[in-house]
Amino acid sequence: MTTPTVHTSIRLPEPTLHRLPWYLAYVKIMQSQGVEYISSTQIAKAINVDASQIAKDLSFVNISGKTRVGYEVNSLVIVLEQFLGFNSRHRAIVYGVGRLGAALMHDSGLAQYGLEIVAGFDVRSMKQDNINGIPLYHVDKFCQKRQELDANIGILTVPVEKAQECADYMIANGIKAIWNFTPYRLQAPKHIVIQDTSIYAHLAVMFNRLNNLREEEK
Amino acid sequence: MTTPTVHTSIRLPEPTLHRLPWYLAYVKIMQSQGVEYISSTQIAKAINVDASQIAKDLSFVNISGKTRVGYEVNSLVIVLEQFLGFNSRHRAIVYGVGRLGAALMHDSGLAQYGLEIVAGFDVRSMKQDNINGIPLYHVDKFCQKRQELDANIGILTVPVEKAQECADYMIANGIKAIWNFTPYRLQAPKHIVIQDTSIYAHLAVMFNRLNNLREEEK
């Protein structure tokens, strides 16, 4: 099996980047069951996404299917993981070690997806000096430790009213990408990557849809 | 101050439902600073969303601003919270008490946003009988306990290869909405609400944008 070259520097459309992990998750399950080849039609049927959409999304990654048999499963897993950055190591720090910050430091799942949390920072002095073996520091040491640890991703898990000020501080001290778990809409220079994961916004969507359902049932 | 009637049964566009929590977060900060009135222009400036977009989004919620002074801050907070369902109580159960499931049970922030986790279920027998005071049960007791607890939201935090089967099981036992934290694309009947929060998909977007950045710098 030859591993194809992967060009991860293409700027992919966000919807494609959201769908590729679905394909990966499904194809990995097929891989664990010993399946060797899979077609976009099979993936489509299993996960309820249009086959032509899947073929289009997969055309961004450097892999081509064989007529009638489809994509080689092992290659597809490798290419998707490389393409999504899941088998690289991206060093990140957690900023704000409350419940959510601590939970993320405990989540070993993140490492499987290429995110290595190398430190946690908080404005409060903490009783313990590590969580799950990952060192904790006071924010005063942020500048020095970030450089030493060579981390360029900041995971923002502070109270919402501190979000912008803490983001500014991280950016001033060399952070290039912020994974924002607060519901605050951050402002940042253009060359900074901001990724919002406001789980509370997702709750709002779910509650609204549930209410619609109840109304329909009346 | 009169509290306006809120019609939460309108099916809102998803992008609007994603933006409303940004407005709420910002307006609450202003409220804590004693601000009484706020205009869509002020919100726009602070959070970098177009003022006309904000006015349009807010037209879905039953509140109108006064010329020159804008929206009354206290009313806006109440209306947005009601509208988003954050001050109702939605009873949910966690299905799959691993790292992530346990972390969510510890996250008291969710209750502030209207989600009350009333039980955790796992296929493994567990040493402790509760997390953060929330009872843990074996999945065998799911049907009985879900009814007793009157929970209709299931938070899916199982390993990805079990996602579909566990979703099917919850639906067969009366769950109406699934908050899916796995990267698996679930299939479900139309009357079931599925809300995906695949944090790993967000990682993929962030890694891709970071890589683009590096390429540009070369």
- The domain defined by A90-201 folds into Rossmann fold (3.40.50)
The per-residue pLDDT for A2 is 46
The per-residue pLDDT for B1 is 44
Q: Which residue has the higher pLDDT, A39 or A2?
A: A39
Model confidence pLDDT, tens digit, residues A87-107: 889 999 999 998 889 888 987
The per-residue pLDDT for B73 is 96
Burial class, A59, CB count within 10 angstroms (exposed 0-12 / middle 13-18 / buried 19+): exposed
Which residues, other chains included, contact B123 with Cβ-Cβ below 8 Å and sequence gap of 6+?
A: B138, B139
Q: Nearest CB to B208: which of A25, A85, A99? A: A85
Task: Tell me how close the Cα of B104 comes to any Cα of chain A, in angstroms.
Answer: 8
Model confidence pLDDT, tens digit, residues B159-212: 999 999 999 999 999 999 999 999 899 999 999 999 999 888 889 999 989 988
| DSSP class of B66 | B
Q: How confident is the model at residue B111 (pLDDT cuts 50, 70, 90)?
A: confident
The per-residue pLDDT for B7 is 52
The correct answer on CATH 1.10.10.10 for the domain covering B14-84 is yes
The per-residue pLDDT for A7 is 52
Put simply, the chain A residues between 41 and 60 with a CB less than 8 A from any chain B CB are 47-49
Q: How confident is the model at residue A150 (pLDDT cuts 50, 70, 90)?
A: very high
Is the ipTM higher than 0.95? The answer is no
Q: How confident is the model at residue B12 (pLDDT cuts 50, 70, 90)?
A: confident
- pLDDT (mean) for A147-153: 97
The per-residue pLDDT for A1 is 45
Put simply, the chain B residues between 140 and 179 with a CB less than 8 A from any chain A CB are 152-153, 160-161, 176-177, 179
Q: Which helix (H) or strand (E) holds B154?
A: strand B153-156
Q: Kindly state the percentage of chain A with pLDDT values over 70.
A: 95
B46, pLDDT greater than 80: yes
Which residues, other chains included, contact B196 with Cβ-Cβ below 8 Å and sequence gap of 6+?
A: A202, B180, B185, B186
Task: Tell me how close the Cα of A76 comes to any Cα of chain B, in angstroms.
Answer: 16
The residue of chain B nearest to residue A155, with distances taken between CA atoms, is B203
Task: Tell me how close the Cα of A195 comes to any Cα of chain B, in angstroms.
Answer: 6
The per-residue pLDDT for B218 is 67
A25, pLDDT greater than 50: yes
Where helices occur in B150-198 by DSSP H, the ranges are 163-172
Query: Domain coordinates of chain B in residue numbers?
Result: 14-84, 90-201
Model confidence pLDDT, tens digit, residues B113-138: 899 999 999 999 888 999 999 999 99
Mutate which of B47, B171, B210 to test chain A, going by most A C-beta atoms within 10 A?
B210
Q: How confident is the model at residue A41 (pLDDT cuts 50, 70, 90)?
A: very high
The DSSP code sequence of B68-105 is TTBEEHHHHHHHHHHHHTTTS-EEEEEE--SHHHHHHH
CA B27/CA A148 separation, integer angstroms: 38
